[in-house]
Amino acid sequence: TPRDKIRNFSIIAHIDHGKSTLADRLIQACGGLTDREMSEQVLDSMDIEKERGITIKAQTVRLSYTASDGETYTLNLMDTPGHVDFAYEVSRCLAACEGSLLVVDASQGVEAQTLANVYQAIDQNHEIVPVLNKIDLPAADVDRVKEQIEEIIGLDASDAVQISAKTGLGIPDVLEAIVNRLPPPRGGDHTAPLKAALVDAYYDPYLGVVVIVRVHEGILKKKQTIRMMRTGGVYEIDKVGTFNPKLTEADALGPGEVGYFVASIKEVGDCSIGDTITEDKRPTDKALPGYKDVQPVVFCGLFPMDAGDFDDLRAAMGKLRLNDASFTWEMETSAALGMGFRCGFLGLLHLEIIQERLSREFDLDLIATAPSVVYEMSMTDGTEIELHNPADMPDVVRITEIREPWIAATIYTPDEYLGSILKLCQDRRGIQIELSYVGGRACVKYELPLNEVVFDFYDRLKSISRGYASFDYTLIGHRAENLVKLQILVNEEPVDALAMLVHRDRAESRGRQMCERLKELIPRQMFKIPIQAAIGGRVVARETISAMRKDVTAKCYGGDATRKRKLLDKQAAGKKRMRQFGKVEIPQEAFVAALRMD
C-alpha cells in the first residue's frame, strides 16, 4: 500500500467503555469477515486472550476501507493491553501508530485509566479523535462528557464523533474520521536499511513465536537475515504477513506497515518489546527511541500446598512463561513453607492473573506469601543490593540506607467519596500533590510508597467508593526511608513467610495488629502458643493462644459414633489446608488475612 493510504491507530478506552464492541463493528463494516466468520473470529480471539492471560498482549487487525473519496485505505488497528501494569507495552503499541480514537462512555465520562493512556498518546504526538460511545443509553450526557474531555484532558471535543457501538449508529463517521483526521505514517525510505519496531510477541503452538512489528524504514521480507539490536539475536525470516485478522502471508512489509514475522525464535523471552529490528548485513545506524528494560516490581513466594506438587508447579510456570516473558521466578526454600518459587510480576493485576491461572488451569493448590516490592540497600562495604524477599534481609548493622519504590497515583472519583479516599491515602503514608474538581468529580494526585499499595489498596479504594473511583499509577523511583524488618514468631520460631519491611513509625502497631489477627486465625492446640512480633530481635507485641482443654471428641465418648466420625472428618478436612510450623499448625488463610491492613 502507498504510505499516504495507510492509517495506523489504536483505541484508548477505560474498561467497559466499549473498545472491543467498537473494534468488532469496524472489522464488520470493512467486510473483513462474513457474519459467520465474525462470530467465530470473535470467539477465537477470546480464546487467545485467555491463553495469553487476558489483557497482556497487543493485537492488531488490518482493515481495508473504501472511503467516501473513492480511495481504498489500509487501516491498522492496534489493540493495546488494558491495564496499568502493562503501561510499557501500551507505550510501544502507541509508538507504532500515528493516531488514536479516544472512546469515552457517554453515560460514564472520563476515568483515571483513560487519562493515563491519553497522556501517553499525547507524548507520542498522536492525533486524537474523541469518540463518545453508548449514546443510545438514556443516561448518556454528551455535553457533560465533551466538557470533561476539554477541561480534564485539554482536547477539543467539538468534533467528537457520537456513536453507539452496540446499535452500529455512527460507525461510518468513525471510519471517515480515521481516514480524514488521522495522519498517514511519516517519512520512511523503502531503500534505507531496515528499521522496524518490535511491538509484541506471542507464542503460537503451530508457528512458534510470532512477532508483531511496525516497519519504519526499509523492507522486511522472507529469507532476510535480521538482527535484534538490543538482544543481538540473529534470525532468518521464515514468514511475514498481516493480521486480516487471521494471519495472512505476504511477500514483504514496507515503511509504515504493521504485521508479523515468524523466524524460528524459541521463546517469547528472546524478544524484547521495544527492540529495533534491522538487517544483519546492512544495519541501520540508530535504534528507535523509547526502549526500556522491563523489570518486575512486585514479588511473592508461591508454594504448593502439597509438597508433592512441586514438579507440577514448576512445569505449569514454564508453560505460562512461554507466552509471558515478564513473569519471572527463581527457586526458593522457606523454612515454613518448604520448596517453592520467588516470583516477579509487573504489578498486582499481573500477579493475580498468574496466580489464578495456576490454580484454575493447572489445578494447583497454592500458598502465596504476601506481595512485596523491591528494596534497594546500600551496604557498609560500599556495595548495593536489591532485596526481593524481606526474609532475606541482611543484618541491619551492615546496612547504611534502605530505599523503597514510590509511585505517583491518580485517583478519579465522584466527590462524595473524596474524604474517605484522602484518609486512605494519608493512612498509607501518602503525600498529596494535587486536588482538582471538574463537574462533580474530584481528581486527586498522591505520591505513595508502592509497598503500602500492593496489598489491598485497590480493593479498599473500590469498596469505599462503591466501585466508582478509578485509579492509575506510575513508578517514580526509590526513596530512602526509615524501614525496619518486622518478624513474627509463632511458638518462638520466626515464620519467614510472614516477615515484612515496614516504616519504623508503624512497625509497632503493625506488629500488634498481626499478633491479634493470628491469635484469631490459628486454632488452639494442645499446648499454649506465644505469638510475638519482633523488630531486630526486640519483641514489640505478644499474644498467647491458650491450650485446648480437651480432645475435640472427648465430649462424644460413650455417645453417638457417627457424630464422632463427623468431627474427625471435619478435623481431617481442616488439616489439608494447614501448614506445620515446628509443632504448630497454621491455616493457609492466616498468611493472607494477617497482612490485611484495615
Annotated binding site for GTP: 16-21, 133-136
Which residue, 106 or 336, is less far from ligand GTP as judged by CB? 106
For ligand GTP, the binding residue among 6, 9, 10, 17 (CB under 6 A) is 17
**What's the rounded Cα separation, in Å, for the pair 345 and 156?**
38
* CA of residue 431 relative to chain centroid, distance: 24
- Residues in contact with ligand GTP, counted by CB under 6 A, come to a total of 16
Q: Is 7 in the site for ligand GTP (CB under 6 A)?
A: no
C-alpha cell at 553: 471428641
Residues at the binding site are: 16-21, 133-136
Which residue, 171 or 368, is less far from ligand GTP as judged by CB? 171
Which residue, 13 or 96, is less far from ligand GTP as judged by CB? 13
Q: At its nearest, how many Å lie between ligand GTP and the CB of residue 394? A: 43
Which residue, 9 or 455, is less far from ligand GTP as judged by CB? 9
Q: At its nearest, how many Å lie between ligand GTP and the CB of residue 20? A: 3
Which residue, 17 or 485, is less far from ligand GTP as judged by CB? 17
Q: At its nearest, how many Å lie between ligand GTP and the CB of residue 105? A: 8
Q: At its nearest, how many Å lie between ligand GTP and the CB of residue 354? A: 19
* CA of residue 204 relative to chain centroid, distance: 22
For ligand GTP, the binding residue among 8, 9, 10, 13 (CB under 6 A) is 13
Q: Is 15 in the site for ligand GTP (CB under 6 A)?
A: yes
Q: At its nearest, how many Å lie between ligand GTP and the CB of residue 245? A: 15
Element (H, E) at 83: none
Calculate the alpha carbon distances from 570 to 546, 576, 577 in Å.
22, 10, 12
Residues 98 and 127 sit within 8 Å (Cβ to Cβ): yes
Q: Is 45 in the site for ligand GTP (CB under 6 A)?
A: no
Region 151-180 residues binding ligand GTP, contact defined as CB under 6 A? 164-166
For ligand GTP, the binding residue among 1, 3, 5, 21 (CB under 6 A) is 21
Contacts of 501 (CB under 8 A, 6+ apart): 372, 375, 387, 390, 393, 402, 404, 451, 483, 484, 485, 486
Which residue, 17 or 52, is less far from ligand GTP as judged by CB? 17
For ligand GTP, the binding residue among 6, 7, 10, 20 (CB under 6 A) is 20
Query: In terms of Cα–Cα distance, which of 7, 39, 187, 182 is closest to 102?
Result: 182
Q: At its nearest, how many Å lie between ligand GTP and the CB of residue 39? A: 15
Which residue, 55 or 148, is less far from ligand GTP as judged by CB? 55
Region 86-105 residues binding ligand GTP, contact defined as CB under 6 A? none
For ligand GTP, the binding residue among 9, 18, 235, 532 (CB under 6 A) is 18
Binding map of ligand GTP across residues 122-151, x = CB under 6 A, - = no contact: -----------xx-xx--------------
Binding map of ligand GTP across residues 327-356, x = CB under 6 A, - = no contact: ------------------------------
Q: At its nearest, how many Å lie between ligand GTP and the CB of residue 267? A: 27
Which residue, 19 or 57, is less far from ligand GTP as judged by CB? 19
For ligand GTP, the binding residue among 2, 4, 16, 189 (CB under 6 A) is 16
179: left (phi over 0), alpha (psi -120 to 50) or beta: alpha
DSSP per-residue string spanning 160-212? -EE-BTTTTBTHHHHHHHHHHHSPPPP---TTSPPEEEEEEEEEETTTEEEEE
Residues 230 and 276 sit within 8 Å (Cβ to Cβ): yes
Query: In terms of Cα–Cα distance, which of 206, 178, 162, 190 is closest to 77?
Result: 178
Which residue, 168 or 582, is less far from ligand GTP as judged by CB? 168
Which residue, 16 or 416, is less far from ligand GTP as judged by CB? 16
Query: In terms of Cα–Cα distance, which of 240, 432, 203, 239 is closest to 319?
Result: 203
From the list 14-22, 29-37, 376-384, 540-548, the region that binds ligand GTP by CB under 6 A is 14-22
3-state secondary structure of 501: strand
Amino acid at 323: N
C-alpha cell at 287: 535504534
209: left (phi over 0), alpha (psi -120 to 50) or beta: beta
3-state secondary structure of 1: coil
Q: At its nearest, how many Å lie between ligand GTP and the CB of residue 103? A: 7
Backbone phi and psi for residue 437, each to the nearest 5 degrees, phi listed first: -120, 135
Q: Is 19 in the site for ligand GTP (CB under 6 A)?
A: yes
Place of cell 503451530: 206
End-to-end CA distance of the chain: 58
Backbone phi and psi for residue 358, each to the nearest 5 degrees, phi listed first: -65, -40
Q: At its nearest, how many Å lie between ligand GTP and the CB of residue 134? A: 4
Query: In terms of Cα–Cα distance, which of 335, 475, 309 is closest to 408?
Result: 475
Q: At its nearest, how many Å lie between ligand GTP and the CB of residue 108? A: 10
User: What are the residues binding ligand GTP (CB under 6 A)?
Assistant: 13, 15-21, 82, 133-134, 136-137, 164-166
